[in-house]
Chain A
């Protein structure tokens, strides 16, 4: 039997409001000020990203962020050619996993480069108007 009744509907919650947490909030405030920071564990001394109020390595409480040099290294990248719906993008975008020397973890972000490569050193291109979001960095560009 191929003809069945269908019920169109929309799903559940219309809007979420996410908490950045105490440490995440400080990190975002730093971005707004144009500074890149990493969380600092007082026990093991590691700097790590993403920022949070506990050290993922030894479960210690973390309160402090330390500024890091805003120069990272591309660990891997991809070139996005189509959007969510499979439509071709007018302009291809490069997305990279960027690590920072001396920091555990890293960031995923866009990189603007004609010829991206693994191992490329990149630095943030800050937006003029910043709102305390990870997108305050418009993209990373070759350092």
Chain B
């Protein structure tokens, strides 16, 4: 398949990335976290704030940081004052949606150099627990009176996936083990666990069966940033730009009863959109390294299949065979993912984009995958667990 003749004016490249530590509680304010990541991305690109013409901010619910109109609040730390600045929000899918929105700022010809910043401070939502933010995402008539908890959806999905694909919990736990070990190479990581075993995961406390403590990513504070530039600018800024080759996003219904719980259709459609643009017709062969969204271990498997990186029900097999390890044929979440690096929602998605950027530039240090990589992918997932965002990058 050849690339669809999309009507955009400029090729867009990523030319710098920045990341704060991910921790359960950081001392800096949300604005300061945004600044730390933004400044690092600018420094990496060799630019200053004056060089930036537009700013895109991504952050998940205002209720985490406890500041309503959080986008406007974050704008100063994100470098957006007196510039065309916008905040985008598609729940947990936001982190990958930030560079997607930044892409169209540049591709349209409106802006030449865009700073894209994502931030989340879950520790502010102190009582009772940050996940209470999700108490009011439910249908008020048929679901809310049952007082659902976010993990209920995951538990239902995970169980359905296990049933349909005949997957054992041991196979799913392998993802958690891989990612928490991978995280030990990441300077921002919150949950590096070099010696974790499948047994540790299986023995961790059961939260909402079959979901156990080590199946889940933690709550985190953190921020991430990338700088995007038009082709002309990118070539002036760096010898090693990383091109955004395809973008895609899709929404499925908010009724989880009306979705295929065993297969993420929203990701498949978002991926198809991105692949069409990137001219990818065999993702398993053409994608060299990927960062699918992994707030839960089974979601990495789920998303690999949605992305076409594995056939349906094949992802656990690839995982067991070591294909998805950092030195495997298809490294998956070499960063350590959300399970290992941490999950400051929007910042976690953008961390994945930053990881692909560094991997493709060969700058991922201890995390650098063994095989040579030319094309990579990052994906996030969110809202009421039905939004999918995909970005394909290449050198």
Closest partner residue, chain A, to B30 (CB atom): A19
1/0 contact string of B1-39 vs chain A (CB within 8 Å): 000000000000000000000000111110110010011
Bound: A140/B79 CA distance, A: 33
Do B81 and A11 touch (CB < 8 A)? no
Q: Are A18 and B77 neighbours in the complex by a CB distance under 8 Å? A: no
Interface residues of A in 41-81 (CB under 8 A from B): 52-54, 56, 58-59, 61
Most chain-A Cβ atoms within 10 A of its Cβ — which of B29, B38, B121, B123?
Answer: B29
Q: Is the CB of A15 within 8 A of B29?
A: no
Say yes or no: A59 contacts B48, CB within 8 Å: yes
Contact residues of A between 9 and 45, Cβ < 8 Å to B: 9, 11-22, 24
Q: Are B133 and A13 in contact (CB under 8 A)?
A: yes
Closest to B144 in A: A7
Indicate whether A12 sits within 8 Å of B136 (C-beta atoms), given known contacts A54-B77, A56-B76, A59-B48: yes
Bound-state CA distance A61–B35 (Å) is 9
Q: List A contacts of B26 (CB < 8 A).
A: 19
Residues A13 and B35 in contact, CB atoms below 8 Å apart: no
Contacts of B144 in A (CB 8 A): 7, 9
Q: How far is the CA of A58 from the CA of B51 in the complex (A)?
A: 12
Verify if B132 is at the interface (C-beta below 8 Å from A).
yes
Query: CA separation between A14 and B132, bound complex, in Å?
Result: 9
Task: Report whether A21 and B28 are in contact in the complex, using a CB–CB cutoff of 8 Å.
Answer: yes
Chain B, residue nearest A5 (CB): B141
Residue B42 interfacial (CB < 8 Å):
yes
Interface residues of A, CB < 8 Å — how many? 22
A53 to B33, CA, bound (A): 10
B49–A59 CB distance below 8 A: yes
Tell me which of A7, A13, A14, A20 has the highest count of chain B C-beta atoms within 10 A of its own C-beta.
A13
Does B127 sit within 8 A of A, measured CB to CB? yes
Knowing A12-B132, A58-B49, A59-B49, the reply to whether A17 touches B32 (Cβ < 8 A) is: no
Chain B residue with Cβ nearest A58: B49
Task: Say yes or no: A17 contacts B29, CB within 8 Å.
Answer: no
Q: Which of A12, A15, A52 is packed against the most chain B CB atoms within 10 Å?
A: A12
Q: B79 contacts which of A16, A52, A59 (Cβ < 8 Å)?
A: A59
Within 8 A of A (CB), among B66-80: 66, 76-77, 79
The answer to whether B39 and A59 touch across the interface, beta carbons within 8 angstroms, is yes
1/0 per residue, CB under 8 A from A, across B122-147: the answer is 01111110101101100010001100
CA–CA, A83 and B63, complex, Å: 25
CB contact under 8 A between A56 and B124, given known A12-B135, A13-B132, A16-B66: no
Contact A53 B28 (CB under 8 A): yes
Chain A residues with CB under 8 A of B66: 13, 16, 18
Taking CB atoms, residues of chain B closer than 8 Å to A11 are: 136
- Decide yes or no: A18 and B124 within 8 Å by CB, A53-B35, A59-B42 being known contacts: yes
Q: Is the CB of A21 within 8 A of B126?
A: no
B35 and A59 contacting across the interface, CB-CB below 8 Å: yes
**Choice from B81, B126, B136 contacting A15 with Cβ under 8 Å:** B126
Query: Which partner residue on chain A sits nearest B129 by CB separation?
Result: A13
Q: Are A54 and B29 in contact, with the CB atoms below 8 A?
A: no
Chain B residue at smallest Cβ distance from A59? B49
Which residue of the partner chain A has the closest CB to B81?
A56
Task: Tell me if B48 and A22 are in contact (CB < 8 A).
Answer: no
Query: Judging by beta carbons under 8 Å apart, are A19 and B133 in contact?
Result: no
Check if A54 sits within 8 Å of B125, measured CB to CB. Answer: no
The docked-state distance in angstroms from the alpha carbon of A54 to that of B28 is 11
B127 to A15, Cβ gap below 8 A?
Answer: yes
Check if B28 sits within 8 Å of A19, measured CB to CB.
Answer: yes
- Docked pose: A15 CA to B38 CA in angstroms: 29
Task: Please list the 7 inter-chain residue pairs (A to B) with the smallest Cβ-Cβ separation, ordered nearest first.
Answer: A15-B127, A16-B66, A17-B126, A21-B29, A54-B35, A59-B49, A13-B125
Assuming A21-B28, A54-B39, what are 18 further A-B pairs, CB within 8 angstroms?
A11-B136, A13-B125, A13-B127, A13-B128, A13-B132, A13-B133, A15-B127, A18-B29, A19-B27, A19-B121, A22-B28, A52-B35, A52-B77, A53-B32, A54-B35, A56-B81, A58-B48, A59-B42
- Report B's interface with A, CB cutoff 8 A: 25-29, 31-32, 35, 38-39, 42, 48-49, 63, 66, 76-77, 79, 81, 121, 123-128, 130, 132-133, 135-136, 140, 144-145
Could you write out 7 A-B pairs with CB less than 8 Å apart? A7-B145, A13-B125, A19-B29, A19-B121, A21-B29, A58-B48, A59-B79
